[in-house]
Amino acid sequence: MEFDIVTVVILFFAGVFAGFVDSIAGGGGIITLPTLLAVGIPPHQALATNKLQSSFGSFTATLNYAKRGLMNPKELFRGVLFTFIGAVSGAYSIQFFDAKSLESMIIVMLIVIFLYTLASPNLGKIHTNAKMQKPLFYLLFGLLIGFYDGFFGPGTGSFWTMALILLLGLDLKAATAQTKLFNFTSNIASLAMFIYAGLVLWLAGIVMGVGQIIGAYLGSTLVAKKEVKFIRVFFLIVVGATILKLLFT
C-alpha cells in the first residue's frame, strides 16, 4: 500500500501525540487506530500496524522510566513472562472469536475505574501495603491482562495501573512505569503473531513509530518531573476518552 507525503505527515504527528499520551496514562490506541483507519488502511492491517507503531512508544517509555529509577525491569521478569504468554494466547484466540462481544463488559469496567479514581483524590499518592503477594499477582494479572491486550486491547493500561495501585500498593508514578513495561511485552507478543500472518504495513508502522519515540520520551520525562495530581488528571481524561470511544464507535 502506497502513501502520499500528506498521509505520512499525518501518521507521524499522530504517533507523536499518541506516544505522549500513552506514556503518561495509556490509551494511545484511541488516537492511532482511528488515524490508521482514516487514511484508508483496512481494519485487520490497521490493528496489526498499530501494534508495530505502539511497540516503539512503549519501549521508549520503558527505557526512560527505568533510567529515571521508577522501575527495574530485572525485578519484573515474572510479570513480563506471564504477560507475554497471555498476550500470545489472546492474539491467537482473536482469530476464532468476535472481540466486539467484549465491549459491553469492558465499558462497565472502565466506568468503574473512572468513578473510583474520581472519588479517590489520594489514590496512588504514596506507596501502601500490598494486598497480594507479587508472584501470585504477576501470574494472575500477567496472564489475564496480557490475554486481554492480545485479544482486544482498549483500556489495557488503565487495568494494569489500577491493579498495581490497589493490589501491590504502588504509587501512581511507579504503577505508570511498570504498566509501560507490561504494555511493551504484550505489544511485542501480539506483533509477532501479526507479522507471522503477514498483516503489518511496515512503512506506516515505522513512520508512526518514529513519532511514538519522540512523544513517549517527552511524556515519560514529564511524568518523572510532575506530581501525582497531574498524572491522575491525565489518567481520568484518557479513561473517559476510551469509554466514549467504545460507546460511540
**pTM to 2 decimal places:** 0.87
Number of domains observed in the structure of the chain: 1
Extended strands (E) in 98-175? none
Q: What is the pLDDT along the chain (249 residues), one digit of tens a residue?
A: 788 899 999 999 999 999 999 898 888 888 898 899 899 998 888 888 999 999 999 999 999 999 999 999 989 999 999 999 999 998 888 767 665 666 677 788 888 888 988 888 777 777 888 899 999 999 999 999 999 888 777 778 889 999 999 999 999 899 999 999 999 999 999 899 889 889 899 999 999 999 999 999 999 999 888 877 888 888 889 888 888 887 886
- CB of 239 closer than 8 Å to CB of 46: no
Grid coordinates standing for 147? 490475554
Domain hosting residue 29, numbered range: 5-248
Express each pLDDT in 225-243 by its tens digit.
887 788 888 888 988 888 8
Distances (CA, A) of 131 to 90, 113, 125, 127, 231: 27, 18, 17, 12, 23
Dihedral of the CA atoms 7, 10, 16, 20 (nearest 10)? Answer: -130
Express each pLDDT in 32-82 by its tens digit.
988 998 999 988 888 889 999 999 999 999 999 999 999 999 899 999 999
What's the CA gap between 71 and 86, in Å, rounded? 22
- CB of 15 closer than 8 Å to CB of 57: yes
